[in-house]
Each structure stands twice: as structure tokens, then as C-alpha cells.
Structure 1
């Protein structure tokens, strides 16, 4: 068999027709591509605008939302309690501590008036007991540094001191409170009271 030669004319086409068809197809494809690109660009632009609008709406919502209340500041630390004054555990310390309590309560007394009466009543012995006077005979002996009886101690006890009549500070303080009530001050007592 003999090879057949191909030609555009054999199929009823001319080269010109083929070129025009090819060009038309290319133009249509280019238009389709351009259309697709335009559609895609338009969709991308709309998506970007929508995102920008959403961000703007969110920002406006945040700006319109009342600010969260600020956390309250931490409470300042409570001031440290003043250091308790140290007193000597002897007659001088007991008188000094009692005087501080008396001053705080507005009860008059002086160091000299207290010491003078302590030395006369008990010679400074906080455990002293008078077992011979009228109080002792009546069953209520005088006790402690300033020889006070139980009912008087209870009646003139000063808040913040011990309820133990033999406690030196409690004994001095209650006795001074009694003396202030009856004589104006322990300073005015110069004998048994």
C-alpha cells in the first residue's frame, strides 16, 4: 500500500481555516481564563472585604464593651503589732508595767507612791499574806504586794491584767484603782488603807 499524504485540503480545511479555528479557540480559552481570573479576583476581593468588615465589627464590639473592672489592689499588709514592751521580773518592772496600764486607763498613781506603799505592806513579797489582822479574822486575808483582799481585788480589777491576786502587776493595778477611787491616788495613802 501506498502511503496517503495528508493535507488540510483533503479534509476540507485550509490552513487558514485551521489557524482561525485555533486562534478562536485560544481567544475563547483566554477569555475563559480571564473570566475565571476575574471571578477568582472578585471572590478574593469580596472575601478580603468581608474579613476587614468582621475585624472592624469585632473591634467596635470590643471598644463598646465596658472594660473589665480592674482587680482590686491587694490589701495593704496590716501594720505589725507594736512590740510588747519588756519589763524586768522584779519590783521595779512590776511597778513600771502597772504604771503603763494605769496611764492607759486614766488611773492616777506614781512610782514613788506605789513603791512606798508596797514596802510598807509586803516589803516587796508578791506572795505575802496577812493572817493576823481583822480581815484575816473575818476569813478574807490581805494578799500580795499591796495587801488587798479578794472582794476588793475583784471589784477593782483592771481589764487586761490577770485575775490572780498574787500576780504582782494585777495586784498593784487593782490596788491603785481602789486607792484612786477612795483617796484620789495611791500617792495619798500613807498607812493601811
Structure 2
């Protein structure tokens, strides 16, 4: 049973189908031209012989054009496929690079956060007493390359203030001149300000600030707080 073509099927005729129809039309026209020989120009034998030759030439010409057309269509399709593949490859490479960059940044951020966390965890906590003040002072002195030892600091602190960070001398010549010695290592204000170590409070009574300023002064004048064995 034959099937009737629908309008949609008719619309789906390809260029190759159209070329085939054109070939048939051309061949028919060529054959008709070959058989219609004007009267008086040739006999019946000439007409019969000319028709097959014209038909063959027409067919060969259409075939050659059809092959060229199909070759051109194939090349266009191949070029389009290559271009599409190149575009997809470029997009994939760009996405891969973006993903790699994002992963690298995320890793760097995690490492920085972990390092900051370790630094915070490892930051020493010093006791709020003479032992803690001396140990914290030594850490600051080391960072600023100020010489001195625990024993050197301790012996001078005990001699100068007995470990009292609020100690003050109100009777010596400095006191008479209005600049009394204060704090653990009995430093006068001009000396404290001149040898104050950045990062410590600008407070003459602050135990750590007082120690490191005095140690800084002693290092400049005596080479180290360890070399001080009397009033300085």
C-alpha cells in the first residue's frame, strides 16, 4: 500500500533531491533536443545515432556537477564540525583553567587561615607576675636584638624595686629634679622615652615596657643588663 506524502515530508526535501530533479529535467531536455532534428538537415539514421550521444553527454555533465556540489557540501560540513569542535575545546580549556585557578586560590586561603590559626594557638601566654613579665620581656628583647638574660634582669629588678612595678624613688637627685625613677628597674622618664621599645605601652609603670626600655638603655651604655651590678 503506498503512503501519501505529508506537507512536512515534502518540505524536508534536501538540496541533493533538488539536484536530482534538475538532473532529470536537464537529461530530458537534452534528449528532446537530440531527437528533434530539423527537416532536411539529416536523415533518419543520423537522428537515431545523435540521440544516444547527446543523452550520454548530458548525463555525464549533470553527474559531474552533482559530484562537485556534494563535495562542496561535504567540505562545508567538515569545516563547520571542525570549527564547532575548536570552539568547544577552547571553552573546555577556559573552564578547566578557571576551575584550577579557583581551586588554587581556595587552597591558598585555607593554608593562610590554617597558618593564622596555628600562630594564634602558639602565641605564648605569660603569667601576670614577675616571672611572666621577665619572660615576656626576654621575648621582646630577642625580637629587637637587645641582649640580656633572665638572671641579669631578675637580679637588677630585685635590687632596684624588689619586684614592685609601682615602686618610685622620691628622695634621690632625680626626684629632686622632678623626674623620679619609677617601675621595676627604676627608670627616669627621659630615659624611658628615649629607649622605649615599639610595641610596648608608653607607660613608665608598665612592667614589660619598663623592663625592655631599661634593658635597651643598659645594652647601649653597658653592653647588656647582665653587666649592671649597681645603680645605673
How high is the TM-score relative to the length of structure 1? 0.70
Q: Is 1:43 the counterpart of 2:79 in the alignment?
A: no
CA displacement at 1:147 relative to structure 2: 0.3
Q: Tell me, what secondary structure is at the counterpart of 1:123?
A: coil
Q: TM-score, normalised by structure 2?
A: 0.59
Q: In the aligned structure 1, how far is the partner of 2:10 from the partner of 2:165?
A: 106
- The structure 2 residue matched to 1:145, chosen from 172, 179, 184, is 184
Change (3 A) 1:46 1:152: farther
Give yes or no for the alignment of 1:63 onto 2:86. Answer: yes
Relative contact order higher in (CA < 8 Å, ≥ 6 apart): 1
Question: Which has the larger displacement, 167-176 or 54-63?
Answer: 54-63
- Structure 1 gaps of 5+ residues are 1-29
Does residue 80 of structure 1 match 2:106? no
Please give the alpha-carbon distance, in whole angstroms, between the structure 2 residues aligned to 1:159 and 1:146. Answer: 18
Task: Write the mapping of 1:101-140 to structure 2, written as runs, cut at 5 A.
Answer: 101-140=140-179
- What secondary structure, in the 3-state scheme, does the structure 2 residue paired with 1:163 have? coil
Quick check: which has more Rg, 1 or 2?
A: 1
| Superposed CA RMSD | 3.2
Change (3 A) 1:173 1:46: farther
Q: How many equivalent residue pairs?
A: 157
1:99 to 125, 135, 138: 138
- The SS at the match of 1:143 is coil
Q: CA offset at residue 55 of structure 1?
A: 8.5
Equivalence for 2:65: none
SS in 2 for 1:130: coil
> Tell me, which stretches of 5 or more residues in structure 2 are unaligned?
18-69
